Structure 1
């Protein structure tokens, strides 16, 4: 297995600079492919505008028309995310406006799934909306291999994630949860540097055949299912440099880890069938004003985590005209 991973790393890992923008535009013209960029967003007013502006300025103008469609999927923001994104030039779609017959579930995977119903690109590129110091390489780098190699189906970004003094310290859930699960159960995916990274591009024909976990498990679920459906050689990764973004606190990371564990368990033989659609996670906080060690100084907080999964969109009657 190590030999297979090593060979895959040699064949399917690149740098964004390996494919200059001019070559991507030529490949796009030659293949007639269209590209949609989707930003799932929840209360990202401080960062979403700059990301949209960079993509429009560097990848969607007349001089570099790589991106045909730029959509911000609002996951129920309570701040000015939608206003800021629209002012910067994105088309903003609220999750509740898509497929209204199905009540929306909270979660990133939910809006990604719904985005397939309101976008039209042959290639769909997902980018998190909380990135700072955003570079257009996060889009062109991962779209590029899909434009130039017809065998590829999904490409993930890889990067450093600095935290304090550690260049890679930001990937705490990746290193403590996702990577051990992958190496234990799907060792063929062990070569992915950022298996939980939110920046990746895929062919629509692949995405429409995959189930989408509604929450934080979506990245792991799509990666594992893409391996099963398309094979390892259809997957790749591109180094886009450094990813700067806000970091979650420990309890938020615990909830993310629970969702990822549930997503993994659903994909293991004999294990996943018994999982409910929603799981509870009990965490603890010290009561305000309580003395350390005093009885009752810690208060339990129970969170309900949605771990259900949406079916492949190609099974929806509303998607039938688009699939055809």
Structure 2
């Protein structure tokens, strides 16, 4: 346990706090996919949120037409002011395509769609739905800094489970890459990106003003891209990080289409685009090797830390992951970030109406014709 303050305000879990916070003025965005349906982790999150009673819960749901109905029925049993935004309906998809906004689908796209709905409230909180240890205190903890003059807050926690260190993409890719970049420049953006103890945490909160100006990455670069914009919108003085204490959620394999290796490409592109946006010109010809050297140094440090705590640690496995992640260290291409809602060519009310019509047709077969705001 420690209480060190760093480059940004750091709120520590010293007394298992559940502080007073404006939960009644906050919308909670809880992205879900078919795999969360009736899952124990998602049930825990929703049950805990019932005790929080936020102003609104928005669930952007990525699911097939066959599954969206049962999923919406399951969500309706919770005592929450909850709205389901079906991200894959034909009307919504067609309209987004007309505006040039459809593109790649992923968590970031889902969260972006939901943010438009959440902006009816003063504050926005974004959570993952696969948290096995979710606590009702999380919403209040993330909101607390916002009620004390901060504009953006980010969760952090130690990923230690089953006597092993997790958080591998952060430990072995993100942090070493930021460190390698910092060796060639002292740009403030790198100080900011390195200030967050767990930059890839899916949990953050923001004021309405910040949330409406975020340009959202479509896929797994969401968390890093959010930090890049938060640096511009809130900066060091307006940002905080909040300890959520014990935290467990699902783990991914390294390989495969949804594995950590594939995720590293989106995370790397988002990170490098963020630093380029803020004036850094990385030396890409040497960066992969400098990243790998930095990551190997981190492995040596983590190995000692794990041994000190009596944890299992596969040093060889971690070196192998570094080799796979090195391929993701490359100049980003094709910036397909979604626009900030402050500048979007489509209104949030249009998204809501189209998604509602799609959901109603999928659930009861009724074709809903509705005049929408264009």
Aligning the two structures, in what range does the TM-score lie when normalised by the shorter sequence?
0.7 to 0.9
User: Where does residue 125 of structure 2 map in the other structure?
Assistant: 125
| Contact map agreement 1:214 1:307 (CA 8 A) in 2 | no
Report runs of 4+ in structure 1 exceeding 6 Å deviation: none
Gaps in structure 2 of 5+ consecutive residues: 183-189, 283-332, 351-374
Gaps in structure 1 of 5+ consecutive residues: 61-66, 272-304
Listed one character per residue, the Cα deviations across residues 56-107 of structure 1 (whole Å, up to 9, x for unaligned) are 1x211xxxxxx11012110226755444323224322111355751144321
CA distance in 2 between partners of 1:20 and 1:130 (Å): 21
Listed one character per residue, the Cα deviations across residues 232-262 of structure 1 (whole Å, up to 9, x for unaligned) are 1111111111111110011100011111011
User: Where does residue 202 of structure 2 map in the other structure?
Assistant: 198
Specify the SS of the correspondent of 1:202.
Answer: strand
Query: Structure 2 residue aligned with 1:315, among 314, 329, 343?
Result: 343
| Contact map agreement 2:161 2:248 (CA 8 A) in 1 | no
CA distance in 1 between partners of 2:14 and 2:56 (Å): 21
CA distance in 2 between partners of 1:16 and 1:210 (Å): 32
What RMSD over aligned residues (CA atoms) do the two structures have, in Å? 2.8
Q: TM-score, normalised by structure 1?
A: 0.73
User: Would the alpha carbon gap of residues 16 and 196 (structure 1) be closer, same or farther in structure 2, given more than 3 Å must change?
Assistant: farther
Listed one character per residue, the Cα deviations across residues 175-227 of structure 1 (whole Å, up to 9, x for unaligned) are 11111233335123322111000011111211211211100001001112211
| Contact map agreement 2:116 2:348 (CA 8 A) in 1 | no
| Contact map agreement 1:214 1:309 (CA 8 A) in 2 | yes
User: Where does residue 176 of structure 1 map in the other structure?
Assistant: 172
**Does residue 56 of structure 2 align to residue 59 of structure 1?**
no
User: Where does residue 64 of structure 1 map in the other structure?
Assistant: none
CA distance in 1 between partners of 2:27 and 2:83 (Å): 11
CA distance in 2 between partners of 1:306 and 1:44 (Å): 31
| Contact map agreement 2:117 2:348 (CA 8 A) in 1 | no
User: Would the alpha carbon gap of residues 306 and 75 (structure 1) be closer, same or farther in structure 2, given more than 3 Å must change?
Assistant: farther
Higher relative helix content: 2
CA distance in 1 between partners of 2:15 and 2:349 (Å): 38
Listed one character per residue, the Cα deviations across residues 18-38 of structure 1 (whole Å, up to 9, x for unaligned) are 8644x325xx7xxxx720001
User: Where does residue 367 of structure 2 map in the other structure?
Assistant: none
User: Where does residue 101 of structure 1 map in the other structure?
Assistant: 95
| Contact map agreement 1:216 1:260 (CA 8 A) in 2 | yes
Specify the SS of the correspondent of 2:245.
Answer: strand
User: Would the alpha carbon gap of residues 247 and 20 (structure 1) be closer, same or farther in structure 2, given more than 3 Å must change?
Assistant: closer
Paired residue total: 266
| Contact map agreement 2:29 2:124 (CA 8 A) in 1 | yes
Higher relative strand content: 1
Q: TM-score, normalised by structure 2?
A: 0.64
| Contact map agreement 2:252 2:260 (CA 8 A) in 1 | yes
